Chain A
Amino acid sequence: MKVLYYPGCSSEHLARDFYLSIEALASFLALELEPLPDWNCCGAREIEEAPEGVGLFLASRNLALASGKELLVTCSLCFHNLKRAQNILRENPIWRSRMAEVLKDEGLELSPDLPRILSLTEFLTRIDFSRFRSPHFRGFPVAVYYGCFLSRPYPTDLQALEKVLSAAGYPVIPTTLKTHCCGGHLPRTDSPVIKNLCRRLLFEARQKNASGLAVACPVCKLNLEIYGDPPFPVRYFTQYLGLALGISPSWLGIPEEE
Chain B
Amino acid sequence: MEFGLPLEDILQKLAEEGYRISRRTFLYYVQLGLLPKGKRKGQKSGGVKFYYPTWTLERLKTILRLKKQGLTLKEIKKRLPREIPSPLPPKTFPQTARLKDCNVCGICGAICPVHEEMDLSPWRLIQAWLEGPDSLPSANTPWVCVGCYLCEERCPREIPVVDFLRFLRREGLPPGKRWRKHPEWSRIFWSLLEERGRSFDFGAVHAYHIRIIGSGENQRLFLRLPGPEGEKEVSAPSKIKNLSAFRRALEHAREWP
A residues touching B (Cβ–Cβ < 8 Å)?
A: 8-10, 12-14, 38-41, 43-46, 48-54, 56-58, 61, 77, 98-99, 101-103, 105-107, 148, 152-153, 180-181, 183-189, 191-194, 197, 218-219, 222, 226
In the bound assembly, the distance between CA atoms of A193 and B117 in angstroms comes to: 7
Partner of A48, one of B113, B148, B170: B170
How near does chain A come to B257, taking the closest CB pair, in angstroms? 6
Determine if B17 is an interface residue (Cβ-Cβ < 8 Å).
no
How near does chain B come to A150, taking the closest CB pair, in angstroms? 11
Given A38-B240, A44-B189, A49-B186, check contact A10 B150 (CB 8 Å).
Answer: no
| Contacting pair A152 B245 (CB below 8 A) | no
Q: How many A-B residue pairs have CB under 8 A?
A: 163
Residues of B within 8 A of A98 (CB): 256
How near does chain B come to A63, taking the closest CB pair, in angstroms? 14
| Contacting pair A181 B237 (CB below 8 A) | no
In the bound assembly, the distance between CA atoms of A185 and B182 in angstroms comes to: 12
How near does chain A come to B86, taking the closest CB pair, in angstroms? 22
Closest to B247 in A: A105
Residues of B within 8 A of A99 (CB): 253
| Contacting pair A45 B203 (CB below 8 A) | yes
How near does chain A come to B56, taking the closest CB pair, in angstroms? 31
| Contacting pair A40 B147 (CB below 8 A) | no
| Contacting pair B206 A187 (CB below 8 A) | yes
Partner of A184, one of B147, B190, B250, B257: B147
Q: Using a Cβ–Cβ cut-off of 8 Å, how many residues does chain B contribute to the interface with A?
A: 53
Determine if B127 is an interface residue (Cβ-Cβ < 8 Å).
no
| Contacting pair A54 B181 (CB below 8 A) | no
Interface residues in B159-212 (C-beta closer than 8 Å to A)? 162, 166, 169-170, 181-182, 186, 189-190, 193, 197-207
In the bound assembly, the distance between CA atoms of A197 and B112 in angstroms comes to: 11
| Contacting pair B245 A46 (CB below 8 A) | no
| Contacting pair B199 A44 (CB below 8 A) | yes
Partner of B254, one of A54, A187, A222: A54
| Contacting pair A186 B170 (CB below 8 A) | no
How near does chain A come to B87, taking the closest CB pair, in angstroms? 22
Residues of A within 8 A of B149 (CB): 148, 152-153
Interchain residue pairs A-B with the least CB separation, the first 4 = A57-B253, A184-B146, A152-B149, A185-B203
A-B contact pairs, 9 of them (CB 8 A): A46-B189, A50-B170, A54-B253, A183-B113, A185-B147, A187-B144, A192-B116, A193-B117, A218-B204
Determine if B143 is an interface residue (Cβ-Cβ < 8 Å).
yes
Closest to A190 in B: B207
Per-position 1/0 for B199-239, Cβ under 8 A of A: 11111111100000000000000000010000000110110
| Contacting pair B204 A185 (CB below 8 A) | yes
Closest to A95 in B: B256
B residues touching A (Cβ–Cβ < 8 Å)?
A: 113-114, 116-117, 143-144, 146-150, 152-153, 162, 166, 169-170, 181-182, 186, 189-190, 193, 197-207, 226, 234-235, 237-238, 240-242, 245-246, 248-250, 252-257
| Contacting pair A106 B148 (CB below 8 A) | no
Residues of B within 8 A of A187 (CB): 143-144, 181-182, 206
Given A46-B186, A185-B146, A191-B117, check contact A9 B199 (CB 8 Å).
Answer: yes
In the bound assembly, the distance between CA atoms of A77 and B201 in angstroms comes to: 10
| Contacting pair A153 B152 (CB below 8 A) | yes
In the bound assembly, the distance between CA atoms of A94 and B151 in angstroms comes to: 29
Partner of B193, one of A41, A49, A194, A218: A41
Most chain A Cβ neighbours within 10 Å, of B186, B201, B240 = B201
In the bound assembly, the distance between CA atoms of A101 and B117 in angstroms comes to: 41
Residues of B within 8 A of A189 (CB): 206-207
Residues of B within 8 A of A102 (CB): 249, 252-253
In the bound assembly, the distance between CA atoms of A176 and B202 in angstroms comes to: 30
Partner of B250, one of A57, A148, A226: A57
| Contacting pair B201 A14 (CB below 8 A) | yes
Residues of B within 8 A of A58 (CB): 250
Residues of A within 8 A of B143 (CB): 187
